[in-house]
Amino acid sequence: MSELVFFCGTMDCGKSTLALQIEHNRSARGKRGLIFTRDDRAGAGVLSSRLGLCTQAVEAPEAFDFYAHVTDHLACGRPADYVIADEAQFFTAGQIEQLARVVDDLDLDVYAFGITTDFRTRLFPGSQRLVELADRIEVLQVEALCWCGARATHNARTVDGHMVVEGAQVVVGDVNGTGGETGYEVLCRRHHLRRQTALNAEAGARADSAADVMTARERTGTHADAR
Ligand SMILES: Nc1ncnc2c1ncn2[C@@H]1O[C@H](COP(=O)(O)OP(=O)(O)O)[C@@H](O)[C@H]1O
Ligand SMILES: Cc1cn([C@H]2C[C@H](O)[C@@H](COP(=O)(O)O)O2)c(=O)[nH]c1=O
């Protein structure tokens, strides 16, 4: 029986890589896939992984109808055995329902990949509908890590390395943003809630060690000018 599977995780945990691997393994066995994405960092009509691999995909903007596209494709006599949909968090709830119909009415497997929550820890509409409708939810096993070493569970948006909590839900970008640009950093829940990014942690550690030196000097009565 065909299924709708939602592969999810934080940013940078290997979702697009897995999408490319699933595509590779199935096409190597003669199966034909339809590949969709929306607003990939590499540009329109591309599904890209940070490992350097990418493949052509159909760009699916807000008005795009997945069900109509797949039925048209089949009606033209072209084959399709499965569907891959990356950046699924950006799809509308209605588009996820179309993907569910592709499974139920057209009997194709649909593999959707996306982050569940935004920089404010709120579900994206597409991800919410996938959680509600998917036959299976697979959390990726390659853990992205917070700067503290714990498993990263949340996505922070950063400007100059500092976490921001205001702004549009969708801002396409990458982890490790630099030079004033909007970027992202994955964090564990504790550090997301405390708004502590790697940069803040570094500054905090420097301040702590300066305070330790001051305390030691006060304790021993030594000062830089006394040396
Ligand atoms: N230089 C590298 N060497 C090895 N693995 C890398 C390298 N750069 C990225 N990766 C791997 O690629 C993963 C990101 O893959 P990607 O498919 O782009 O993530 P996602 O789609 O979840 O944002 C990282 O978690 C890491 O495991
Ligand atoms: C948290 C968050 C992310 N985004 C964007 C940033 C990237 O373009 C994608 C995620 O891509 P990835 O392949 O999973 O790294 O989503 C956003 O628009 N809004 C957010 O809150």
> Domain 1-142, what architecture?
3-Layer(aba) Sandwich (3.40)
Q: Which residues pair with 82 in a beta bridge?
A: 33, 109
- Provide Rg for the chain, Cα atoms: 22
Tens-place pLDDT, residues 2-33: 999 999 999 999 999 999 999 999 999 999 99
Nearest CA to ligand 2 atom 2: 118
What pLDDT band is residue 217 in, cutting at 50, 70 and 90?
Answer: confident
Beta-carbon-side half-sphere exposure of residue 220 (alpha carbons within 13 Å)? 10
Nearest CA to ligand 1 atom 1: 51
**Token representation of residue 35:** 């590949």
Enumerate the H helices of 118-165 as residue ranges.
125-133
Q: How many CB atoms lie within 10 A of CB 2?
A: 17
Tens-place pLDDT, residues 79-102: 999 999 999 999 999 999 999 999
Q: If we measure between CA atoms, which residue out of 90, 94, 37, 29 comes closest to residue 68?
A: 94
Q: How many CB atoms lie within 10 A of CB 77?
A: 6
204 residue type, one letter: G
ipTM over 0.95: yes
Q: How far apart are CA 47 and CA 54, in angstroms?
A: 5
225 Cα: distance to centroid of ligand 2 (angstroms): 52
- Tokens 């339809």 -> residue: 34
13 Cα: distance to centroid of ligand 1 (angstroms): 6
Q: Are 154 and 186 in contact (CB under 8 A)?
A: yes
Substitution site in 20, 164, 172, 176 for ligand 2 pocket (most atoms within 8 Å of beta carbon): 172
Tens-place pLDDT, residues 185-206: 999 999 999 999 999 887 766 6
Q: If we measure between CA atoms, which residue out of 7, 185, 153, 22 comes closest to residue 89?
A: 7
Q: Where are the domains of the chain?
A: 1-142, 143-227
Substitution site in 51, 55, 87 for ligand 1 pocket (most atoms within 8 Å of beta carbon): 51
Annotation says 138 is catalytic: no
Tens-place pLDDT, residues 157-175: 999 999 999 999 999 999 9
Closest ligand 2 atom, residue 86 Cα? 13
pLDDT at 178: 67
The yes-or-no verdict on residue 115 having pLDDT over 50 is: yes
Closest ligand 1 atom, residue 12 Cα? 23
